[in-house]
Structure 1
Amino acid sequence: MADPKKKMSVTQLTFIVTVNMMGSGIIMLPANMAQVGAISLLSWIVTAIGSLAIAYGFAQAGIFNQRTGGLAAYAEEAYGKDGYFQVFFLYFISLAIANVAVASSALGYLAAFFPVLSSTPAISCVSVIALLWLTTVANFGGPSLTGKIGSITVWGVILPVGFISVAGWIWFSGQTFTAAWNPKGLSLFEGMGSSISLTLWAFLGMESASQNASAVENPKRDVPLACMFGTAGAALVYILSTTVIQGIVPNAELAASTGPFGLAYAKMFTPAIGSIVMALAAMACVGSLLGWQFTLSQTAKDAADTRMFPAIFGKANSMGAPIAGMVIMGVVQSVMALSTISPDLSKQFAALVNLAVVTNVVPYIISLSALFVMMRNAKVEPAVYRRNGIVAVVAMLYSVYALYAAGKDAVMGGMLVMAIGYIVCGFIAPRFREMRASTDRPA
């Protein structure tokens, strides 16, 4: 057993959760939300409540089930190996989609220095694919360097976003914000639902706290608290930063920007400062993409090692890099980039975010619904069962609403991904029976 003095406190875990969420997810949001108007900021209210409910549900699930596998392991409690595989597969594909979205974010900021990269839709698409392969090949050397780079580059997002959330109000103009409020004449309900997918995108990864349960002093107390405080902290920064930027940059300029935070800093200070922020954001996006590319391939390797995925994904070189899996997912992500090609990066980013949210939210619903089985198995007190059950229902209802808000194109894409998942599952399903037989066989 680890020395309790060497374990994380609830404050440290909360900070980790907040930093994990505040990666590159926020970096293009102001521009995309400005295309609807400042009324889209109302989406944060719905998403903050829904995300807190989801985070709490996963924190509770992590207490009752501390096996490896995260969401998939939770689903297995209620739906067996078939549920495990479907949740894993959808979540796995959502990571690949998110990587393409992060690549388009990085390109938007790089284009400020190299305009040719986004000069035409075809060149933009080729540039996104080049970034995907650059970060894929960079991971061939194994996880050590990747982890070090990611822990540094993430601050390229956190520092500018954090600063503008606190100090940006000095430059805030009520007149600019009012003019940006509702240029499309949306109703209040339409405004609240207009950017649900975009705002939820910024919270993806909130479930990560439960993965660190074994590293904290008091998991039953600290994990739920860190989930809630971390999500609330990220929500506060997100809401403040996207609101203040609407009062600094005129809406039309913000909506057309491929680097909204750089544009805001240029307005606040000088174009040179804006360029520095653009460079920091580009660095953060590339560093984030580098880390997520390895996470994607490592997730597939772990599944292959447990015979839950084709064996080719489990083959690693001497430095621990699953190169075959990386190459396969590089091809898959390139196809995704081609299939979402758009006249501008903001529209491509929005299409990818909607699809990523759909393929994330379905595993959320399945995993959260398994919480009821976990609580019955753990024989929790009725009061705890009712409290957790109410929060889980709120989380699942919000998740269903997020599916609706993502739009029919994204939902159709998610259904196609799920259908492919069942095809893959059909080939490996006999392994599930073998696993059960070996588990049931007496020692």
Structure 2
Amino acid sequence: MHDTGTVSSSAPAPAGPIAAPAQGPASQTGHRPSPEGEGGSRHARRFGLPVATALVMGNIIGGGIFLLPASVAPYGTISLVAFGVLTVGAIALALVFGRLAQRDPRTGGPYVYVREAFGDFAGFLAAWSYWITSWVSNAALAVTAVGYLDVLLPLHGSPWLMMTAALVLQWLPALANLAGTRYVGAVQLVSTVLKFVPLLLVAIGGLFFFDPDNLGPFQAGEGGALGAVSASAAILLFSYLGVESAAVSAGEVRDPRRNVGRATVLGTLGAALVYLLGTLSVFGTVAHDKLVTSSAPFSDAVNAMFGGTWGGAAVACAALVSIVGALNGWTLLSAQTAYAASRDGLFPARFAEKRRGVPTFGVIVTVVLASLLTVYNYMAGTARVFEILVLITTFTATVPYLLATAAQLYFLFSGQRDRVRPARLARDAVLALAAFGFSMWLLAGSGYSAVYQGVLFLFAGVLVYALMSARAARS
């Protein structure tokens, strides 16, 4: 596999204490890793456009979609307007990542762009923030999946059984990652197809059973139309986290300058289509008064469409497949982010080790940390600490977005990279400003508590940066 981890010789040298004598293998010697690490193995295979698109869609759509219609139903069908606004913002962000990948198609995504624009410290914060988000979110996804598994295999509320199930659900995708990019891509593609079959069944099939009387009021509750849109948007804001997935794994994508942007936009559009049609269909097949109290809206929609009570089991299977696919993708993204930072000396050198095209040490650290957090959650007997950490990730996930869009604005107006025609410059600037505004909205929507605690969590990484800087200075 072609090595995209090394810094391009045409790129300006980033500022910062680690830029010159960096600790990572690439910056130390300039040599490529062994063929086995970069694609010499038959288990390593670069992602084509379909797999890259599946990576984006699979990471955007996790398990939350199966509760979204019930979550926004109390605000009325005006919540679909909020969905539309958010989709525009997500597409703008996707296009910006596509532009950035054309400039610099290396593994690492937001981290790469931010470091090149603003130097080591900003790049480290982007990588640290995204890495935290990845493994904490994996623990949250696994715990969520146990709830759906309980529908199929009753665990009788046993903390030990639930904990074991959550750990198994985390380690299976990790093993697929350790087996090589060939298997990561296969799992991602199959899980995306399998999850979309039942989702599209409701999203498209539900239109044939659509009853306008089920919609309820256009605007429910108090606060006016703007208040209803803002309130529902706050719930929906994080539905599009994951648009950067193809950019983070750009080094494993064939022809990344062309395919990363396409995969990002296609994956985001596909997820948006499923979100909008699925929510609309559930609104039209489940009575509004029942939907606002539903704990399984897609199950209720399937039961309303076809009768019987088998909808719960069908949706539980779809949710499990969806979450396993998301775990598979987020495990890879976590390892890839640490890999890119390690090659520049901003993370420990072990994270730069690759086998079968995958940063194996990063995968192991990701799954171990997520497993420890999961065990602590179940052993403590309360979800409070776990909920706080998950809330923090809603903040940390958007920090790299904000920094990456700022990097795009820097590239456009600094005159240092890819001089473009005035018409394209204006278009790209508008897209970057829209994506920046969307990222700010994401940060604001995470709430005061999440921002406050997220900042503390983010700057805890300053200690790691200081230690890595000191080590680089000594060398």
State the TM-score bracket (shorter-chain normalisation): 0.7 to 0.9
- 1:143 is the counterpart of 2:184: no
Partner of 1:63: 102
Q: Greater helix percent: which structure? A: 1
C-alpha deviations, 1:77-115, integer Å up to 9, x for none? 221111111001111111123223322432332232355
Aligned partner (choices 237, 246, 261) of residue 200 of structure 1? 237
Aligned partner (choices 337, 359, 369) of residue 406 of structure 2? 369
C-alpha deviations, 1:354-412, integer Å up to 9, x for none? 54332121110111111133332122333322221121111111211221122112222
What are the equivalent positions in structure 2 for 1:18-57 lying under 5 Å apart?
A: 18=57, 20-34=59-73, 36-57=75-96
State the SS of the aligned residue for 1:195: helix
CA, structure 1 residues 433+235, in 2 after alignment: closer, same or farther (shift >3 Å)?
A: farther
Bigger drift between 257-266 and 305-314 goes to 305-314
Aligned partner (choices 112, 115, 124) of residue 76 of structure 1? 115
CA contact (8 A) 1:213 1:219 kept: no
Distance in 2 (alpha carbons) for counterparts of 1:60 and 1:110: 40
CA, structure 1 residues 324+65, in 2 after alignment: closer, same or farther (shift >3 Å)?
A: closer
Superposed displacement of residue 239, structure 1 = 0.8
Q: Which amino acid aligns with 2:436?
A: M
Partner of 1:309: 347
Q: Which amino acid aligns with 2:179?
A: P
- 1:134 is the counterpart of 2:168: yes
Partner of 2:444: 404
Distance in 1 (alpha carbons) for counterparts of 2:48 and 2:351: 36
What are the equivalent positions in structure 2 for 1:31-430 lying under 5 Å apart?
A: 31-34=70-73, 36-114=75-153, 129-138=163-172, 139=174, 142-144=178-180, 148-179=186-217, 181-210=218-247, 211-212=249-250, 215=253, 219=257, 223-269=260-306, 270-293=308-331, 295-297=333-335, 299-300=337-338, 303-304=341-342, 306-310=344-348, 321-322=360-361, 323-324=364-365, 326-332=367-373, 334=375, 355-375=392-412, 376-378=415-417, 379-430=419-470
State the SS of the aligned residue for 2:462: helix
Distance in 2 (alpha carbons) for counterparts of 1:336 and 1:314: 30
Cα RMSD after superposing both structures: 3.8
Distance in 1 (alpha carbons) for counterparts of 2:153 and 2:256: 50
C-alpha deviations, 1:150-197, integer Å up to 9, x for none? 432333321111222212112222122125x44433421122222335
Distance in 1 (alpha carbons) for counterparts of 2:354 and 2:265: 37
Distance in 2 (alpha carbons) for counterparts of 1:289 and 1:251: 33
Q: Give the paired residue count.
A: 420
Q: Which amino acid aligns with 2:321?
A: M
Identity of aligned residues (%): 27
CA contact (8 A) 1:33 1:40 kept: yes
CA contact (8 A) 2:97 2:244 kept: yes
CA contact (8 A) 1:315 1:324 kept: no
Q: Which amino acid aligns with 2:210?
A: F
CA contact (8 A) 1:27 1:157 kept: no
Superposed displacement of residue 431, structure 1 = 4.7
Distance in 2 (alpha carbons) for counterparts of 1:140 and 1:8: 18
CA, structure 1 residues 206+276, in 2 after alignment: closer, same or farther (shift >3 Å)?
A: same
Q: Which amino acid aligns with 1:46?
A: V
Distance in 2 (alpha carbons) for counterparts of 1:410 and 1:357: 7
Bigger drift between 295-304 and 162-171 goes to 295-304
In structure 1, stretches of 5+ residues that fail to align are 436-443
CA, structure 1 residues 307+40, in 2 after alignment: closer, same or farther (shift >3 Å)?
A: same
Q: Which amino acid aligns with 1:413?
A: Q
Length-normalised TM-score, structure 1: 0.79
In structure 2, stretches of 5+ residues that fail to align are 3-44
Q: Which amino acid aligns with 2:168?
A: L
Bigger drift between 38-47 and 319-328 goes to 319-328
Partner of 2:12: none
Distance in 2 (alpha carbons) for counterparts of 1:170 and 1:135: 36
CA contact (8 A) 1:61 1:374 kept: no
CA, structure 1 residues 66+430, in 2 after alignment: closer, same or farther (shift >3 Å)?
A: farther
Distance in 1 (alpha carbons) for counterparts of 2:410 and 2:332: 33
Distance in 2 (alpha carbons) for counterparts of 1:8 and 1:290: 14
Partner of 1:439: none
CA contact (8 A) 2:55 2:189 kept: no
Length-normalised TM-score, structure 2: 0.75
CA contact (8 A) 1:368 1:392 kept: yes
Distance in 2 (alpha carbons) for counterparts of 1:200 and 1:64: 28
CA contact (8 A) 1:197 1:354 kept: no
Distance in 1 (alpha carbons) for counterparts of 2:338 and 2:51: 29
CA, structure 1 residues 432+78, in 2 after alignment: closer, same or farther (shift >3 Å)?
A: farther
C-alpha deviations, 1:256-303, integer Å up to 9, x for none? 444332232122113224422322322332343255345435644564
Distance in 2 (alpha carbons) for counterparts of 1:309 and 1:240: 42
State the SS of the aligned residue for 2:285: coil
